[in-house]
Chain A
Amino acid sequence: MKSEADLTRFQLIWLLIAQALAIFPLFFYLPKWLPVIWFTTLAWRVQVYRGVWPYPASIIKTGVAFGCLGLLLLSYGFRVNVGSMSTLLCFAFVLKLMEVRKQNDLYLVIFVAFITLPLLFLFSTNVLAGAYVAFCFVFIMACLTAVQHNRHKRFMFPAWVNIKVIFQALPIMVLLFVIMPRLNPLWNMPSLQKNASTGFSDSMSPGSFSELIKSSDIAFRVTFDTNRHGDIAVPPKSEWYWRGLVLDHYEANQWTPFHRGWMNREKVFGADRPPDEWELEALNQLREYRYSILLEPHNYRWLFSMRVPFSADTGIGEVTFTENYLVKSPVRVNRRIEYSVTSSPDYSLAKYTLSNRDVGINTQLPDDGNPKARELAASWRRQNLSSFDAVQAALSFFQSSFTYTINPPPLGMDSVDEFLFDTQKGFCEHFAGSFVFLMRAYGIPARVVVGYQGGELTQSGYLIVRQSDAHAWAEVWLAGEGWVRVDPTASVSPLRIDQGFTETLSGADASMYWGGGFSRLYYSLQKNLDLFNYHWHRWVIEYEDKEQQKFLSRLLGGVDAWRIAVFLLGVSGCLSVIYLWWGGVRAKKKYAYPVDKHYQVFLAKLSSVANGSLKIEKGDTPTVIADKAVQVFPYHQRLIRDITHLYTEICYAGKAELLPKLHESVRQFKVLHLKL
């Protein structure tokens, strides 16, 4: 639509409001100079409108544009990422404001707003962002409406219109959201600005967990599903060990996954279940747990599962199984994903033997260092302890005089020795690391497992696992039993395992973790909010192919294209009819003459009381009706005549000012106790 008219004051104000709302939240994520540019432009535009300043000359505009490009380079260099692209778009959006004179220019700015506004979702996906964008959308559409009508007296009019429009559009939007197929990315986009990956990294050294443990960020959420008996089985707390990564190489005080050469970094099996040759079998079907995990992005490939996963399924492609009974994602987890796993703690394996190579890997230790620890292991060996007894000996050694704290003193070169014999203060990673060291020194294959332990069961039955639940424990190989989980931390601080991390802390540790009462309040508030957030993420943010197909096949009995098309057409057809009816029929009712409304009330009262003795024909004029009514109700002649007179005066003589009188008379008539 061509519209060469100048912008009116209202249109300009609407435009400024829409633009300000659309870019405001981005200011938090983009360089700090952007708001300055915006504000300057805004001030200039207002001055132009007031006629104080002229439109900027093209040389100034060019200069400003290049200046902004320069600032962009200063902030981002030549990196092409979401930040730099958004900034470019934003300042183009802002500077365009200077050029807006005609109504056609307004459309261009509005279209840029349509692209700028959803950029917020790249930075934030919470409910508030969603609500905010919906709110802004009303104003952007209001801008368009402000051009399309001639009533410029009522400033808020475009907003009211659009609030109505958007409420009517919501059902269709929900329908589209549920139905429209999701495609895979069409091409690679510049990556999101990710702050360093959250969670732990793929190595563990003393102290590497300490920051993590202070964080109350959510790592993942677990929902337990019904198992094959139809029960929702929640495993006991002692089973809440979420395995993420196995560290089986020790070097320079650091545990890392064993580097298995470039050919086969780690034996990985495709498919959504463990390889058949393991002949893995669940022994106790009652202890089979099915659960789905909504994992926050951590930028690594490992996923978390309980021991031992029998099958796993994810929407992002096939899950892979490693030989350490871990599940892995085929791609890095850089967005929230959901996957489901079936696990059982009671299982049998075809063979309970380790290959020589695996024994070698799992008993590897550096050639020197930590002599005291080695000596301790050697003393057990001299006592001829069995593997099982050696484990017990190590655990009772930890029980004797160790303290659990998240503020351990720093350790030097021989960190295992210093921890075991000097400081004796530490948390999971110290215990697990030194325990595995002792086991290996003794000759038992052992390894460190990192992941999360525990979680917080919410009232609605799902488990929140936070970064503070990060944990490290050990697995030792016992002949005839296979890999057995040993948690040395549990023997020092059993509460840590039974009650979860936050309840274990006391005194100084607790106050440090909580940061006072206010934080506690915040924490409980956060807990309630999380329930909402959980559903928001599960049903809105993560509504992907898998859920969509599940939902659609339940709704439509299938996900064939024709079913979707028929459903879409059917529902949108119904909605259209409803809307048309609203616009037509309902409007008629709403705008029916008020005078008729009152008169109808009068007629309704008459006919309900007269109970058939008053016969009103179709063509009867008000006067005829009045004559008939007076015959039936002679005592109320005056009122009946009054009402009829007022009605005819208003209708046929246009005396609208009599309307309140009619209203009053009809009201009087309505409360009469008419008797035949």
Chain B
Amino acid sequence: MSIQTAMQARFFRWIDKHVPKVTQHTLTLHNVYVFPSRLGLAYLLVACLVWVLGTNYQNNLILAFVFLMISVFIVSILHTFLNLNRISVRYTGASPVFVGDTVEINFELAADKNHYGIKARWQDESRWSSVDVVAEESSVYVRKAAISVPMQAKKRGWVKPKRLLLESYFPHGLIRCWTWLNWDVHILVYPKPVEVPEPESIVIAQAGTDNHPVSGGEDFSGLRNYQSGDSLKKVAWKIYAKGKGLYTKEFDQQVSKELWIDFDSIVAPNLELKLSGVAYWIMRYHQQGVDYGLKLANQAFQPDSGDEHMHRLLTAIATFDYS
């Protein structure tokens, strides 16, 4: 077993040296390997049995049958190779996921002839994706097929997928034709959201005269028409942006509080769980549709809302490095 492992390690070192990390591969004689599959070896064994039958009965037709089996096997080698040869595999992206989720990494296969039964999986992954690259309509000159290969997201941050195994047994399953592809691809994995107690929001005194004592109230009570002199910070800009006029946000108490997720205030046993807690509250506030900000160790993100904001924050915690 250890010899096998060592051999495998050696093989992959060789692969890494010969298969560059790029975002597009074209399969050729140089990076495609061909070998009989287990089924193919069994097939040859059956051919041997039939050969013994033919030899013992001195029956030329049975021998001819064996020779047909063998020659089909030989032709199958070429067919299986040609079925993987000259396919271009292009990385087309992957959406970010949380740790523990499955990231679907997308590729596009393009070829100028039909290719069948192409299967792909990541090294260390057991799930296969399978696709045929064929022309759907006669007017399509280059055959294209999209394939997304699932990968388990195991840790947060920028994850580099291992080698991609692309293989095909077409047409008979007797021959395995495969290739290992290295990718210059980074996939962002966010920390997995884990519920923790709500972090204390930072109450920030509004710059200005009287109306923001540092105390509890945060209740937004309504809008009133803008009067000159009102703080510009209290203008309901969103409503203004919709072209409905200028309003001032009124608060019951003249105090306000902005939602800030303060990394330091998250209660969790370790750094990773703290980040998970941050992720949880980012998702939570995002769902509520409120503005929220994030204070990380040395950076702060002003309160805002929206998908882009959420992803920016999640990216920040995904790539957060404490040191």
Residue contact A583 to B117, C-beta cutoff 8 Å: no
Do most interface residues of chain A lie in helix, strand or loop, or is the interface mixed? helix
Binding site for A on B (CB under 8 A): 37-39, 42-43, 46-47, 49-50, 52-72, 74-76, 78-79, 82, 85-86, 112-113, 116-117, 130-132, 134, 139-141, 168-174, 176
CB neighbours of B117 from chain A (8 A):
148-150
CB neighbours of B82 from chain A (8 A):
580, 583-584, 587
Verify if A185 is at the interface (C-beta below 8 Å from B): yes
Instruction: Give the residue name and chain of the B residue nearest to A168 (CB).
Output: B75
CB neighbours of B43 from chain A (8 A):
111, 114
Given contacts A145-B172, A165-B171, contact A579 B78 (CB under 8 A): yes
Contacts A148-B170, A150-B131, A170-B68 given; 4 further ones with Cβ under 8 A? A137-B72, A172-B67, A173-B68, A186-B55
Q: In the bound complex, what is the Cα–Cα distance between A542 and B52 (angstroms)?
A: 18
Q: In the bound complex, what is the Cα–Cα distance between A635 and B35 (angstroms)?
A: 61
Residue contact A133 to B65, C-beta cutoff 8 Å: yes
Residue contact A141 to B72, C-beta cutoff 8 Å: yes
Verify if A169 is at the interface (C-beta below 8 Å from B): yes
Tell me the chain A residues, 640-666 only, with Cβ under 8 Å from chain B. 656-657, 659
Partner-contacting stretch, out of A118-126, A421-429, A513-521:
A118-126
Q: In the bound complex, what is the Cα–Cα distance between A1 and B65 (angstroms)?
A: 24
CB neighbours of A576 from chain B (8 A):
74, 78
Verify if A134 is at the interface (C-beta below 8 Å from B): yes
Least CB distance from B138 to A in Å reads 8
Q: How many A-B residue pairs have CB under 8 A?
A: 180
Binding site for B on A (CB under 8 A): 1, 107, 111, 114-115, 117-118, 121-122, 125, 129-130, 133-134, 137, 141, 144-145, 147-151, 158, 161-162, 165-166, 168-173, 175-177, 180, 182-189, 192, 335, 540-544, 572, 576, 579-580, 583-584, 587-588, 590-595, 656-657, 659
Residue contact B171 to A587, C-beta cutoff 8 Å: no
Q: In the bound complex, what is the Cα–Cα distance between A638 and B77 (angstroms)?
A: 52
Q: In the bound complex, what is the Cα–Cα distance between A590 and B69 (angstroms)?
A: 29
Residue contact B113 to A587, C-beta cutoff 8 Å: yes
What are 12 A-to-B residue pairs whose CB atoms are below 8 Å?
Answer: A107-B173, A111-B43, A114-B50, A115-B49, A148-B116, A148-B169, A169-B68, A185-B57, A185-B58, A541-B60, A583-B82, A584-B86
Do most interface residues of chain B lie in helix, strand or loop, or is the interface mixed? helix
Residue contact B141 to A593, C-beta cutoff 8 Å: yes
Residue of A118, A133, A169, A592 with most chain B CB atoms under a 10 A cut-off: A118
Given contacts A177-B67, A595-B141, contact A579 B75 (CB under 8 A): yes
CB neighbours of A171 from chain B (8 A):
71
Residue contact A1 to B75, C-beta cutoff 8 Å: no
CB neighbours of A122 from chain B (8 A):
57, 59, 62
Instruction: Give the residue name and chain of the A residue nearest to B170 (CB).
Output: A148
Given contacts A111-B43, A114-B46, A584-B86, contact A176 B70 (CB under 8 A): yes
Instruction: Give the residue name and chain of the B residue nearest to A188 (CB).
Output: B56
Instruction: Give the residue name and chain of the A residue nearest to B86 (CB).
Output: A584
Q: In the bound complex, what is the Cα–Cα distance between A235 and B292 (angstroms)?
A: 114
CB neighbours of B113 from chain A (8 A):
587-588, 590-591
CB neighbours of A118 from chain B (8 A):
50, 53-54, 61-62, 65-66
Residue contact B141 to A594, C-beta cutoff 8 Å: yes
Residue contact B68 to A166, C-beta cutoff 8 Å: yes
Residue of A148, A177, A182 with most chain B CB atoms under a 10 A cut-off: A148
Residue contact B176 to A129, C-beta cutoff 8 Å: no
Residue contact A1 to B62, C-beta cutoff 8 Å: no
Residue contact A121 to B132, C-beta cutoff 8 Å: no
Q: In the bound complex, what is the Cα–Cα distance between A158 and B172 (angstroms)?
A: 10
Select one of A183, A540, A542, A656 contacting B55, CB under 8 A: A183
Least CB distance from B119 to A in Å reads 9
Q: In the bound complex, what is the Cα–Cα distance between A148 and B79 (angstroms)?
A: 13
Select one of A148, A184, A335, A590 contacting B172, CB under 8 A: A148
Least CB distance from A589 to B in Å reads 10
Residue contact A542 to B68, C-beta cutoff 8 Å: no
Least CB distance from B79 to A in Å reads 6
CB neighbours of A145 from chain B (8 A):
170-172
CB neighbours of A544 from chain B (8 A):
58, 60
CB neighbours of A593 from chain B (8 A):
141
Select one of B38, B60, B72, B76 contacting A1, CB under 8 A: B38
Instruction: Give the residue name and chain of the B residue nearest to A658 (CB).
Output: B139
Residue contact A129 to B61, C-beta cutoff 8 Å: yes
Residue contact A1 to B71, C-beta cutoff 8 Å: no
Residue contact A165 to B72, C-beta cutoff 8 Å: yes
Least CB distance from B199 to A in Å reads 48
CB neighbours of B71 from chain A (8 A):
169-173, 175-176
Select one of A107, A125, A657 contacting B59, CB under 8 A: A125
Q: In the bound complex, what is the Cα–Cα distance between A584 and B78 (angstroms)?
A: 11
